[in-house]
Every structure is written in C-alpha cells, then in structure tokens.
C-alpha cells in the first residue's frame, strides 16, 4: 500500500493540515486572550463606575444603590453618599468624590432615597406613597427604612470581611442632612446585645457612624427636625463637618445654629471634632461642590482623618445569642 506521504501532494496536504491545526490553536489562544482582556477591562470599568444593587426596606420599598467595593477587605472604612432633594445617586457620578474615595480604598455606597432616582413606590403602595410630594412619612421612611436597609447590606459585607462597619461615615446634601442626623441619632441610640456579662464585651447593634459631612444642611423637614438629633449627637463624640456658602444667608444661619448645637466653638478647637466651613461662592448643595473642587478634597481629608484612621479593629457582629 502506498504511504500517504508518497502520494502526489501527500506531504503538502499533511503539512497543510498541520499548519491549519496550528493556526486554529493560535487563533483560539489569541481570541481567548482577547476575550479575557476584554472581560478584565470590563470588570475594571465596572469597579471604577461602581456596581448597582437593590435592598428592600422593612415597608417594602426597593432602595437602589451603587457600590464601590474596597480592596482593603475587612479593615476598609465605608462611606454612604446621600443626594439632595429632587436629585438621585447619579449626582455622585457627576461629582468626583465617590471615585476619589474609592481610589483611597474606602468602600462607597451611593443611595437613591425613596421617591428619588430608581427608588420607586411598591406596586401595592397607597396613593399617598405613590405621590411625588414628600411627606413626614416619607422622611421617616428614609431614616428607619431606607438607611436601615442599607445598614443591613453593610452588615452583610462586614460579616463577609469586605469592610469594617465600625468605620462608617455619611456625606449628605441639603434635605438628606436632616435625614443623616436623625439616622445617626437612631444608630447611636441602639443598645448592645445582652450577650456578655460586661458592657464592653457585648456585641454592638449600632453606634457605628463615626463622622457626618453636611453640605448646605436643612434643619427642618415636614414633621422631621434636627434639634434633638444634634443635641443627642453632641455627647457621642462623633465628628461632623458642616459646609455652606457665606453668601446664602439661610444656609449660613442653619450651619451656624447646628454648629452651636453640636458643641462647636471657634474659641475651643482642642478636639478638632466639629467644623463649620464657609465658601465665598453663592451656590448651594451639589452645585457648591461642583464649583469648588477644594471642598470635595476637604471632605476626603476629613473622612480620612475621622473614619479611615478611627481605631476600631474588625470584630464579628453576629450576636452570641443567635449562635446558641
């Protein structure tokens, strides 16, 4: 029998098939590598832009957020970003603060409070709940529903050792400043679980908010004020940065009043805990931050000093009572 290699064009055919096979392998490798590179680039882009998600509040509202996970793992500080009235979490993609904090290895969560952005009323909600108008019940829902749902997400990330919930800060604009103050009061009013003989050994339920940044703060919403919260927080030792325009009289008055209620004093700056910064530009809220990048840099520095550097090693937050 004649060998295939001895037939006319036999060797050429054999070599051609070998070459085709090699090319096929090479193409597969190149395209496979290209696909992997594309996926890696997509992953990197998604991490830079943040990952969207949803948590459900106790009253059924789906609260949308964008999350930037930190590479620091269990010692990562975490910051919640809250928009102003009529805005949405997308404002934090316009302003560079979220990405800059993420670059500094903060875990960052930008939230759409109910009736803002993608956080719409449930299908079975009342007519009042579906109304665009904000009421006392909406503001209370933001405090006890929306932010508590976000806190549960933070707890889950903490238990997975992706962040340290004991190092928590909040940045809030105009309306949401009142929400943040009241939520911080609520968080600090939570007593630890009764799961150990001594108070120091007990598992905390709250008292995790270490710092607040309040930009053009509003001190009164429909049925929700701030005076009780500011007086309560004065005794907790948390750090607070107030920012407003000197040329917007209402903002200046509100910030000065809050500064006083929180225990701030121009004469006594020993503890460097309460700050009130005024800008010379006649703008408010996110517009103020957009026009003055140095204010955002100041916020970042404040959060580094009072949240990232806060001494609170990661600890398991599941109560011993639930482990029995």
HSE, CB side, 13 Å, CA atoms: give it for residue 267.
Answer: 1
For the entire predicted model, the pTM comes to 0.86
Helical H segments across 125-281, by residue range: 127-130, 136-141, 147-159, 175-188, 227-234, 249-261
What pLDDT is recorded for position 6? 39
From the DSSP assignment, how many helices (H) and strands (E) are in the chain?
12, 10
Residue 115: what are its φ and ψ, rounded to 5°? 65, 20
| Rg (alpha carbons) of the chain, rounded to whole number | 27
**CB 88: neighbour CB atoms within 10 A?**
18
Buried b / exposed e along 156-172 (16+ C-beta atoms within 10 A)? ebbeeebbbbbbbbbbb
> Of how many residues is the chain composed?
324
**CB 9: neighbour CB atoms within 10 A?**
8
CA distance 52 to 49: 9
Domain extent listing, the chain: 4-40, 51-312
What pLDDT is recorded for position 48? 81
pLDDT tens column, 148-200: 999 999 999 999 999 999 999 999 999 999 999 999 999 999 999 999 999 99
What pLDDT is recorded for position 189? 97
CA distance 250 to 257: 11
What pLDDT is recorded for position 128? 84
- Intervals of the chain under pLDDT 50: 1-15, 19, 23, 25-28, 30, 39, 267
Residue 209: what are its φ and ψ, rounded to 5°? -70, 115
What CATH architecture applies to the domain 51-312?
3-Layer(aba) Sandwich (3.40)
CA distance 193 to 316: 13
CB 50 within 8 A of CB 90: no
């Amino acid at each position: 029998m004649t060998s295939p290699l001895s037939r006319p064009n036999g060797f050429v055919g054999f070599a051609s098939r070998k070459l085709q096979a090699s090319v096929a392998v090479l193409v597969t490798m190149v395209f496979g590598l290209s696909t992997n590179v594309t996926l890696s680039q997509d992953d990197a882009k998604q991490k830079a832009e943040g990952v969207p998600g949803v948590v459900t509040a106790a009253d059924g509202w789906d609260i949308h957020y964008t999350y930037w996970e930190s590479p620091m793992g269990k010692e990562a500080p975490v910051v919640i970003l809250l928009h102003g009235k009529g805005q949405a979490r997308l404002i934090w993609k316009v302003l560079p603060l979220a990405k800059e904090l993420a670059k500094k290895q903060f875990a960052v969560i930008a939230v759409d409070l109910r009736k803002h952005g993608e956080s719409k009323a449930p299908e079975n909600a009342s007519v009042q709940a579906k109304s665009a108008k904000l009421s006392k019940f909406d503001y209370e829902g933001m405090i006890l529903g929306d932010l508590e749902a976000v806190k549960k997400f933070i707890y889950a990330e903490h238990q997975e050792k992706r962040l340290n919930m004991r190092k928590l800060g909040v940045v809030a604009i105009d309306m949401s400043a009142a929400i943040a103050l009241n939520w911080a009061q609520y968080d600090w009013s939570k007593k630890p679980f009764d799961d150990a003989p001594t108070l120091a050994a007990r598992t905390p339920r709250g008292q995790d908010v270490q710092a607040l940044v309040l930009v053009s703060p509003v001190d009164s919403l429909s049925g929700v004020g701030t005076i009780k919260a500011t007086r309560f927080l004065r005794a907790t030792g948390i750090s607070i940065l107030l920012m407003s325009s000197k040329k917007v009289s209402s903002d200046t008055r509100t910030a000065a009043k809050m500064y006083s209620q929180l225990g701030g004093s121009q004469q006594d700056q020993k503890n460097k805990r309460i700050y009130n910064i005024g800008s010379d530009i006649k703008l408010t809220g996110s517009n103020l931050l957009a026009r003055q990048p140095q204010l955002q840099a100041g916020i970042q520095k404040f959060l580094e000093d009072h949240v990232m550097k806060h001494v609170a090693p990661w600890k398991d937050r599941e109560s011993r009572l639930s482990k029995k």
